[in-house]
Amino acid sequence: MSETIRHKYRRPRKVQPTDCERAGAGFIRLSLLTIVGISFIVSGCEQLKEKNLTLKPGTLTVLTRNIPTVYYLGPDGETGFEYDLVKNLARELHLKLKIKVADSISAMLAAMAANTADIAAGALTRTKERERRFTFGPDYYTVRQQLVYRKGCTHPKDIAELQRFRLLVPARSSYVERLTELRQQYPHLQWQTTDALSSDQLLEKVWLRKIPCTIVDSNILALNRRYYPELKAAFPISKEQPLAWIINPKLTRLRRELKIWLKKIKQNGQFAQLEKRYYYTGEINFDYVDIKVFIRMIKNRLPKFKGLFEKYGRKYRLPWTLLAAKSYQESHWDPEATSVTGVRGIMMLTNTTAHHLKIEDRLNPEESIRGGAKYLRRLLDRVPESYPKFDRLNVAMAAYNVGMGHIYDARRLARQLNLDPDRWATLAKVLPLLKQRKYYEQLKYGYARGREPVGYVNRINNYRNILEKKLGLLDRDRAIGSILKVDNSGGL
């Protein structure tokens, strides 16, 4: 029994593997190690890619365009709907914002194809053609392509009638894609394209009656109607289309963060505030005020503030009638006025300007008038004394509207065009050119709505002339002669 048991449970003899078996096992172990190693490397690369929020750590590099719906330099510095959005995003992600300006849509797309930026934010429509080439972030806005004309001018009533008109639209734009689609149904559609003119420049040509109509997105029309209220939409030529930013395909984490951020600012109301600031058209600027209303205001509303205009006119050596006229242009002498762009008070100061001038309450009439006078005096002291005395004040008022940097650019451009830069009449001709790419892309401060400050100055001078006539102030030279003296004291 015991032997049988010993025999039954006897330890088997150990068999040594052959050389071939040993080689095979080694190969299997090596293969497993290789697979694990590759998996580790791939996983590490993916983790590294996820870790990189942007191409350059700590910096959000954004490609954009120098146009009013996107990015431009205003009186208080950089501004624009898309600029404010990317600035908000950079702040949310604790990144430094770096802006790169592309000359055109095609230049922007080429730069993104070369991976030179993290984001392209340039009012880009998400189209099928573009989606084949680029990675888009979430849709942030919806627009519709519209046929635009000037009120009172001949224009097509529908797409079929559009075949009798020759269109001018930006080259390589989503409008060209849409017109190409429509031509299948309307074979006589014809159009020309331009690389030299942007959509807002084409709208200006429509307003000037130089072309009968053009096509723009609804948001571009909304913004431009503030300045050209006679522009009208005849009919849409497309369904609603989304706007979205192009994201560098390497930055999957940034794309995810972008989606979270966009949801947040739409829920907390920040996005709606920006939309209202740039695109709300319920309140057109006070560009076309009836003169009868102004004369009635001189009698009924001006007396409440006349003493303050006189007080700070004396302090800052400015004609009080000029301050009053400027204030009427800004606010209709309403101390609680607030515009969709965020400027407030009887002199309509921006928050940035008020901060620099140490104005605590923009809705306080005296504070606002003091700030407006102080700021205009500062600008006037920066205007070259080579201007005639009447011209200096016009230049200062234009700078108040558009920013002194663009005034300097207009002077440079005047010299290039062999015009006298020391005359307001010259600047009035040159400033509108700052809207044209062939000029502004060569200048330091870039794009500007140059026609607006010219109209702004003309309207203020018109109000002032009416005011002085109504008040019997005929000695105009005596009224403005004191502006020439520069004084570095006086609380500036």
CA distance 314 to 328: 19
- How many angstroms separate the CA atoms of 424 and 376, rounded? 17
Sheet holding 145-150, edge to edge: 214-217, 145-150, 231-236
Phi-psi region of 59 (alpha: psi -120 to 50; beta: other; left: phi over 0): beta
Assigned token pair, 284: 């057109």
CA 447 to chain centroid, in Å, comes to: 10
| Number of other residues whose CB lies within 10 A of the CB of residue 491 | 10
Report the interhelical angle of 451-471 vs 320-331 (nearest 10°).
120
Distances (CA, A) of 258 to 78, 90, 131, 265: 22, 10, 18, 11
- State how far the Cα of 475 lies from the Cα of 480, in Å rounded to an integer: 9
**Any idea which residues carry the catalytic annotation?**
330
The strand pairing partners of 64, in sequence order, are 101
In 67-221, beta strands by DSSP E: 72-74, 77-79, 96-102, 119-120, 135-143, 145-150, 166-170, 190-194, 214-217
Euclidean distance between CA atoms 383 and 272, whole angstroms: 38
Name, in order, each residue with C-beta under 8 angstroms of 174's C-beta and a sequence gap of 6 or more.
Answer: 125, 127, 145, 217, 241
> CA 112 to CA 108: how far, in whole Å?
6
Structure tokens at 139: 């849709």
